[in-house]
Structure formats: structure tokens, C-alpha cells
């Protein structure tokens, strides 16, 4: 066999092995294609950031009961984890969680936060201040769209309520997905964008997707 072909086959085989060995990533539902995300982004309204007046996390009731004794957090932990086992109260007792933001893997649920990709405060400033409490509750516990994802707790804390113009995952391989998730959520909930936020999202789609 030609030496170059041999090297190519070997490289392909190694790539396949590494792909199989890669950690399982959280996979929230409803992540759009790049083309769809671009279309959504083009249609979103750019507006000045709204006021935080009246904001409270309590206005976005979470975590609510989803099924039996399982609340939203516990449901996402089971969805995004690997080999997750739970007790009779639905608390995770074992398993592992891969955080796509930073590439870390955790084996204790206490090290994992469920991130609202579009933060509650950001949503408030972008239009949620005028919503009903019922709609805010739906937003904060949305399992049908890619709004909730299991990530490293201190990474979630450092993200806070920032938008993509000031914070994006340190793991650049996830920035395309992150931008598409952010855009999809803002599109579904008809939330506005700031100019710098839209520029950052466009750059992410162009650079990382």
C-alpha cells in the first residue's frame, strides 16, 4: 500500500478512536442549524437594553415539578448526564456530567449548575419585564427549547447575567452551538438584542460555525 495512503488510513482510524472516546456532551433539544440561526438573527429586533427595575429571580419561578418527584433541575441532570442514578426523591446519587462550556467532567451533581443560557436578568432587560408570571415560569423551566444546560457551577457563576458580547464559553469548540442556542431562545420568546450582542453573535456564527 502507498505510504501516504497508509498514513491517511492510520490518521482516520486514530480520529475515529478519539471521537468515540470523547465525553458525551449535554444535548438540549431544539438547537437550530447554522442557516436557521442566521435567519433568526437577521429577524431579531435590536433595541436599547431595558431597565432592571422590578427584577427579582423570584419573578421567574423555578425549579418546578416536572414529573413525580422530579423538578426541572433534576430532569436536566438526568438528561445531560451519563449513567445517572437517582434516589426515591429524584436526587442524583451517581453519574457523570460533561460541561461543554469548559470541557470539565464532574461525578458529583453538587458540582453542576443548570444554566439558563439566556439568563433570567438578561431576559428581563430584553422584554420579559412585561410578561406574565406564568410566561416567566415557562421560560425559566423550558425543557422544549435549548435554554437549560448542565455546566460547571463556578463557570455558570462567572457567566452571571452577561450576554455574548461580554461572555462566551472558554471552550471555543462550543461557541457556535452556544450562539445558535442563544439566538433560538431569543427568537422563540421574541426578546430583543443589543447592537453589541448582535455583533458578537454574528461573529460567532461566522467564525465558529
pTM above 0.95, yes or no: no
Tell me, yes or no, whether 106 lies in a domain.
yes
Tell me, yes or no, whether 143 lies in a domain.
yes
| Phi and psi at residue 179, to the nearest 5° | -65, -40
Instruction: Count how many domains the chain has.
Output: 1
Tell me, yes or no, whether 4 lies in a domain.
no
Residue recorded with cell 457523570: 96
In which domain, by residue range, is 114 found? 24-208
Tell me, yes or no, whether 38 lies in a domain.
yes
85 burial (CB, 10 Å; 0-12 / 13-18 / 19+) is: exposed
What's the grid cell of residue 139?
421560560
> What pLDDT, in 10s, does the model give residues 86-113?
999 999 999 999 999 999 999 999 999 9
Tell me, yes or no, whether 145 lies in a domain.
yes
pLDDT score, position 12: 37
Ranges of the chain whose pLDDT falls below 70? 1-26
> What pLDDT, in 10s, does the model give residues 8-40?
333 334 333 333 344 555 579 999 999 999 999
Tell me, yes or no, whether 180 lies in a domain.
yes
pLDDT score, position 78: 96
* Burial call 144-168: b when 16+ CB within 10 Å, e when fewer: ebbbbbbbbbebbeebebebbbebb
Tell me, yes or no, whether 201 lies in a domain.
yes
Task: Give alpha helix (H) positions in the chain.
Answer: 3-21, 34-43, 72-80, 120-125, 133-140, 153-159, 175-188, 195-208
Tell me, yes or no, whether 9 lies in a domain.
no
Amino acid at each position: 500500500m502507498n505510504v501516504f495512503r497508509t498514513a491517511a488510513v492510520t490518521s482516520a482510524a486514530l480520529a475515529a478512536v478519539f471521537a468515540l472516546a470523547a465525553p458525551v456532551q449535554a444535548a438540549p433539544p431544539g438547537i437550530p442549524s447554522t442557516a436557521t440561526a442566521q435567519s433568526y438573527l437577521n429577524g431579531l429586533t435590536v433595541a436599547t437594553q431595558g431597565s432592571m427595575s422590578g427584577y427579582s429571580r423570584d419573578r421567574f419561578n423555578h425549579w418546578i415539578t416536572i414529573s413525580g418527584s422530579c423538578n426541572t433541575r433534576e430532569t436536566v441532570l438526568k438528561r445531560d448526564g451519563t449513567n445517572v442514578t437517582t434516589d426515591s426523591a429524584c436526587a442524583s446519587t451517581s453519574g457523570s456530567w460533561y460541561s461543554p462550556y469548559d470541557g470539565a467532567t464532574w461525578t458529583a451533581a453538587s458540582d453542576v449548575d443548570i444554566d439558563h443560557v439566556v439568563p433570567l436578568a438578561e431576559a428581563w432587560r430584553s422584554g420579559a419585564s412585561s410578561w406574565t408570571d406564568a410566561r416567566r415560569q415557562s421560560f425559566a423551566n423550558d425543557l422544549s427549547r435549548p435554554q437549560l444546560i448542565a455546566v460547571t457551577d463556578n463557570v455558570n457563576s462567572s457567566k452571571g447575567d452577561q450576554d455574548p458580547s461580554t461572555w462566551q464559553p472558554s471552550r471555543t469548540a462550543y461557541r457556535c452551538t452556544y450562539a445558535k442556542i442563544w439566538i433560538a431562545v431569543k427568537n422563540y420568546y421574541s426578546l430583543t438584542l443589543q447592537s453589541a450582542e448582535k455583533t458578537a453573535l454574528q461573529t460567532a456564527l461566522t467564525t465558529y460555525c
